[in-house]
């Protein structure tokens, strides 16, 4: 969440963060600890299958290279 907030272009009224620590402290102070986990379920629904595909491709190529030796 912090990375995302630092990457987006701020619109009118949005806070401008000076860095990771500033973004973290301002978020905790203004929105509470739960704000750090906004969007965690949709993110996990995207990242989990992508990681599974990455591991699968790695294993396939690993076996392919091992068999060629």
pLDDT in tens, 13-29: 888 899 999 999 999 99
Cα(5)–Cα(26) distance, integer angstroms? 11
pTM comes to: 0.62
Tokens of 33: 């600890």
Q: How many CA atoms lie within 13 A of 65 on its CB side?
A: 6
Mean pLDDT on 36-59: 94
């Amino acid at each position: 969440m912090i990375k995302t907030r630092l990457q987006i272009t701020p619109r009118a009224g949005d806070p401008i963060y000076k860095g990771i620590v500033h973004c973290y402290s301002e978020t905790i102070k203004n929105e509470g600890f739960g704000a750090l986990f906004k969007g965690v379920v949709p993110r996990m629904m995207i990242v989990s299958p992508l990681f599974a595909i990455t591991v699968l491709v790695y294993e396939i190529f690993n076996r392919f290279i091992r068999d060629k030796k």
